[in-house]
Chains A and B, each alone.
Chain A
Amino acid sequence: MNNVRTDHCFPADIDFADRTFPFSYGSWPVRLEHSIATAGLLQPPLLVAGENGFRIVCGRRRLEVVRNLADKFGQEEISVNVAEKSSLQELFRRALWENLAIREFNLVETADIYSAALKIFAGDEVENEVMPALKLPLRPRFRERCQAIVGFSQELRDLLAAGSVDAETVDLIKEWSSAERSALVDLVAESNLRRNKLREVVGRLDDLARRDQISPLELLPAVRQAVLAEAGNIDVELLRRHLKARLYPQLTAAHLEFVARQEKFPWLKPFRLDPPPDFEGGEYRLSFTFTGSKEWEKICAQLNAVALEDIDELCRRS
């Protein structure tokens, strides 16, 4: 590698707070810690001299593991590569491609890298080189998503980096206020909502807020209280049902009415009658279980005795 010398330093010599090269965010894999604890730091990180010690160009996660181990077992000198006479752009490129060669970036890393690149590179370099490398389409939506993530609270960024919140959810909450997002993070902590179900919950909160022209911050406490009152804790399934009932009042009423209507027909007891999914289309499904020919015969006789008016009543939609 050109313009790089091999050197040694202690973790304390490194400026961990510097995020000029923000290529890592989030917890390191357990196996990395195990590897370094067992075999030491085999691949020297790339550093560059800075005002408050060495700045990390490549290898932040390895160095954070080393620092963590040093806190437990004492400081040990480590072997590092130190870049010299290299421009910021050269170092950034090197770190970008070295990282890309071995892994995918999470959403926070992608956002941080994009944001840092905007400060280091000219606009066309960001568009022609950095954004394609990060697989970011050249569309406002993706730029705005990155800018939003950079401004999120650490708690929310941690959830994103851990994969508990996905990009679609970010697109929904990026317009929310920090208080609204903070309330959401609290709900996540309370309920253990993750990724897909969280996206659904946030989507419904967003739809409700749009429909009723109110803030998600006004909605959340009411929904939370309703769930708590019923279950004593924030049960995820109950939370989803509550939101669905609020967003789909007519569909919910139709389901309840359908269930109530079935009660009027005692002959339905051995059967299970399902309406079309969300009452779309007109195909009802009747199912039953049987153990042999006698039971089959009995069920067929029961079905043959059903009045057609009952069927019309059960399938009535208007």
Chain B
Amino acid sequence: MNSAAEVSHPAKYLRSLFRPTTVLVEDEASDCPLVESIIDRLPNPEVVVVKRPTGADVDRLSQDFSPLTTLFLARHRGRFLKACPGTAETYRCCLYQILHLGLGCNIGCSYCVLQGYLNNPFITQFVNLDDAFAELDRELKRPGTFYRIGTGEFTDSLFMDPLTGLAPRLLDYFGRCPNAVLELKTKSVAIAGLLDYPGEIGETIVSWSLNAPQVCAKEEGHAATIEERLTAAALCRQRGYRIGLHFDPLLDFSGWEDEYRQTVASIFAHLQGDDIIWISIGAFRFMPQVKDVLKENHPQTNITAGEFIRGLDGKQRYFSDIRRQLYRFLVTEIRRYAPNVFIYFCMEDKYLWQDTFGLAPADNQELGCWLDRCCYRFNRLNSA
């Protein structure tokens, strides 16, 4: 593992994808140190202190302040660590834990399901980090329990990291944590904070969401290109991070085979199979009500006009034959380069597991255990 080197990074690794001109600060959060630190990193932002907004206030605030250029700094009052809102037991879920530090992102992916879930249009950063770490201290004390924890479920883990400086703070904590690994998921390349981190990075996983080049260009807003993401992944690997890759959502479109083949080839032009801790795969799915929001926000996209059926969890999913074709193709392509890399499905049923891999986890616990075993810390914890 290499240690952090004093190097100058390309500007893109240093730049936050979100550069707000206005910062709304919830009055009860204004004394949190992260507020000042974020504001200091912005050039002349308009700072407005607001009372803790209710639903109607949020609508009103969004009339006065454009969500496109406004960052909301708030105190989170609920639990920071929560189970990933996977899905019904009918589909296998990996029992991931989410560290809930922010909401929303401005990358603008047309397929983003957050469009239908979040009732707050502002990109929101929770700033009461002391409360978050105190909760982690309490939670991670449970003996014999191993945690896979991510911050990229309700936001992108790194898209504004140069602004928040959160990743180094998290590394300070998780680098020393014996029974947990942190996964940072992103479509950005704002990795300077990771590369320059001087301390123990532990077994932290940096993951990139990948897709076909055409999907990246048409549906993923101003996310980094696939090449940029993989170049950043290779740099993070050099620094000693383990790399996760997530093909989610896979889309069914004309010519998808060639496109996904191209992405798989790009992966292994930048990384070795052993560099990758896991690759997850999930076909596009969404709650029915998201369809209207998605079409409203992205009138040009036609990604919801496929053969979507109502899944057993109420979500719209591609008809299973289509999912099977997508999965088999992608798994075969990946296996050509990396026969032993761990591949799993995110929210898929046991029949498609069986059809694709020839085996299926009996339940969510088993799938969770498979992923835990990919982590060295889990193995050390269990052999101790």
Contact = CB atoms under 8 A, between A and B. Distances in A.
B63 A250 contact: no
A8 to B, nearest CB: 45
A211 B321 CA distance: 19
A249 interface: yes
A141 interface: yes
Interface centre among B292, B319, B322 (most CB of A within 10 A): B319
A25 B329 CA distance: 56
Given A278-B319, A282-B351, A247 B292 contact: no
B296 to A, nearest CB: 6
B320 interface: yes
A200 interface: no
A135 interface: no
Interface of A: 127, 137-139, 141, 168, 171, 175, 206-208, 210-211, 213, 247-251, 254, 277-282, 317-318
A277 B38 CA distance: 51
Interface centre among B304, B311, B349, B351 (most CB of A within 10 A): B351
Given A138-B62, A208-B305, A250-B307, 11 more contacts: A139-B59, A171-B296, A211-B302, A250-B322, A280-B309, A280-B310, A280-B349, A281-B349, A281-B351, A317-B320, A318-B324
B164 to A, nearest CB: 28
A168 B292 contact: yes
B311 A247 contact: no
Contact of A279 (B63, B304, B305, B321): B321
Given A248-B319, A281-B312, A211 B351 contact: no
B321 A127 contact: no
Contacts of B319: 248, 250-251, 254, 278-279
A280 B311 contact: yes
Contact of A278 (B302, B306, B310): B310
Contacts of A278: 309-310, 319-320
Nearest to B306: A211
Nearest to A211: B305
A280 B88 CA distance: 14
Interface in B129-171: none
Contacts of B322: 250
A141 B296 contact: yes
A304 B90 CA distance: 30
A254 B359 CA distance: 24
Contacts of A277: 309-310
Contacts of B355: 317-318
18 contacts: A138-B63, A141-B296, A210-B302, A211-B306, A247-B305, A249-B307, A250-B321, A250-B322, A251-B307, A251-B321, A277-B310, A279-B320, A279-B321, A280-B310, A280-B311, A281-B90, A317-B324, A317-B355
A182 to B, nearest CB: 22
A251 B316 CA distance: 14
A207 B90 CA distance: 28
A318 B317 CA distance: 18
A175 B299 contact: yes
Contacts, number: 70
Contacts of B350: 282
Contacts of A208: 305
B60 interface: yes
A93 B244 CA distance: 60
Contacts of B299: 175
Give the size range of B's interface with the partner.
20 to 34
Nearest to B312: A281
B221 to A, nearest CB: 19
Nearest to A281: B312
A147 to B, nearest CB: 14
A282 B304 CA distance: 24
B317 A280 contact: yes
Interface in B317-373: 317, 319-322, 324, 349-351, 355
Interface in B282-308: 292, 296, 299, 302, 304-307
Contacts of A280: 309-312, 317, 320, 349
A317 B302 contact: no
Contacts of A251: 307, 309, 319, 321
Contacts of A139: 59
Nearest to A248: B307
Interface centre among A210, A247, A248, A254 (most CB of B within 10 A): A210
Contacts of B321: 250-251, 254, 279, 317
Interface centre among B63, B309, B320 (most CB of A within 10 A): B320
Contacts of A249: 307
A207 B307 CA distance: 10
A141 B322 CA distance: 33
Nearest to A171: B292
A127 B63 contact: yes
Nearest to A140: B296
A189 B100 CA distance: 52
Contact of B304 (A138, A168, A207): A207
A207 B305 contact: yes
Nearest to B293: A141
Nearest 10 A/B pairs, CB to CB: A278-B309, A211-B305, A207-B305, A210-B302, A282-B351, A210-B305, A138-B59, A251-B319, A248-B307, A281-B312
Contacts of B302: 210-211, 213
Interface string B261-290: 000000000000000000000000000000
A59 B128 CA distance: 57
Interface centre among A141, A168, A280 (most CB of B within 10 A): A280
A109 B10 CA distance: 58
A206 B296 CA distance: 13
B130 to A, nearest CB: 35
Given A208-B305, A210-B305, A318-B355, A137 B59 contact: yes
Contacts of A171: 292, 296
